[in-house]
């Protein structure tokens, strides 16, 4: 098993869940286990540190990892990335969204292996022409630029990635990748997997 001792795993678990009718996706269950516990079980033992970014007070009743709130509120995923980069002990942070319960450690390893940290501030996979910025590696060197974006009017993760030195990794279409990048965003999608 690869160990990424100089990287922090940060799970974003604090969305407003408007498409889930107010249910926090991190606390949805698959096979009796919450999504966030699946992600931790699949990934955390590869890292020296695991943190959670969430504004939901229920999370700390389920998870015994450090939990940080957004520093700049109501800024969507970019606010979560900002809090993760600010609070992580390491310079590098692997961001994972809580709506990816099938997150795969081997695929994570491939993304990190292809990261040349001296040249890139973010390493983001592209799967079937779709960018996956919430299963990606970020450098804390980007905090100043990210803060500028957060104080602007365009809260686009794609827009932020265009302002920094980003390495995009194209991944082939396989069943393994397809499962890893499955996002559960609506109750209809959730019920397909329950």
Model confidence at 186, pLDDT cuts 50, 70, 90, reads low
The mean pLDDT of the chain is 86
Q: Is the pLDDT of residue 19 over 60?
A: no
Mean pLDDT of 131-146: 95
Contact 34, 62 (CB under 8 A): yes
Mean pLDDT of 148-166: 92
Contact 115, 137 (CB under 8 A): yes
Residue of higher predicted confidence among 177 and 81: 81
Q: Is the pLDDT of residue 134 over 90?
A: yes
Q: Is the pLDDT of residue 17 over 70?
A: no
Residue of higher predicted confidence among 19 and 116: 116
Contact 53, 70 (CB under 8 A): yes
Mean pLDDT of 31-42: 88
Residue of higher predicted confidence among 193 and 134: 134
Model confidence at 118, pLDDT cuts 50, 70, 90, reads low
- Domains contained in the chain, CATH given: 4-193 (3.90.550.10)
What local confidence, expressed as pLDDT, does residue 58 receive?
81
Residue of higher predicted confidence among 172 and 50: 50
Q: Is the pLDDT of residue 60 over 80?
A: no
Mean pLDDT of 175-186: 76
Q: Is the pLDDT of residue 38 over 70?
A: yes
Q: Are β-strands 33-34 and 29-30 bridged in parallel, bridged antiparallel, or unpaired?
A: antiparallel
Q: Are β-strands 67-68 and 130-131 bridged in parallel, bridged antiparallel, or unpaired?
A: unpaired
Region of residue 96 (phi > 0: left; psi between -120 and 50: alpha; otherwise: beta): beta
- Which residue has 């397809």 as its token pair? 178
Helix or strand or coil: residue 150? Answer: helix
Model confidence at 190, pLDDT cuts 50, 70, 90, reads low
Contact 103, 43 (CB under 8 A): yes
Phi/psi of residue 166, nearest 5 degrees = -110, 135
Neighbours of 162 (CB within 10 A): 9
């Amino acid at each position: 098993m690869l160990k990424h001792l100089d990287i922090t795993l940060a799970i974003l678990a604090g969305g407003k869940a408007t498409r889930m009718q107010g249910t926090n996706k991190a606390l949805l269950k698959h096979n009796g286990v919450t999504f966030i516990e699946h992600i931790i079980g699949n990934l955390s033992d590869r890292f020296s540190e695991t943190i959670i970014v969430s504004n939901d007070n229920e999370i700390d009743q389920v998870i015994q990892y450090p939990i940080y709130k957004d520093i700049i509120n109501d800024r969507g995923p970019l606010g979560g990335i900002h809090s993760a980069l600010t609070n992580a002990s390491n310079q590098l942070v692997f961001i994972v969204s809580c709506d990816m319960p099938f997150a795969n450690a081997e695929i994570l390893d491939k993304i990190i292996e292809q990261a040349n940290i001296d040249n890139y501030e973010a390493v983001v996979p592209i799967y079937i022409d779709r960018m996956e910025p919430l299963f990606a590696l970020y450098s804390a060197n980007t905090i100043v630029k990210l803060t500028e974006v957060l104080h602007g009017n365009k809260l686009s993760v794609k827009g932020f990635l265009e302002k920094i030195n980003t390495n995009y990794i194209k991944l082939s279409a396989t069943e393994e990748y397809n499962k890893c990048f499955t996002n559960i965003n609506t109750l209809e999608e959730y019920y397909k997997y329950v």
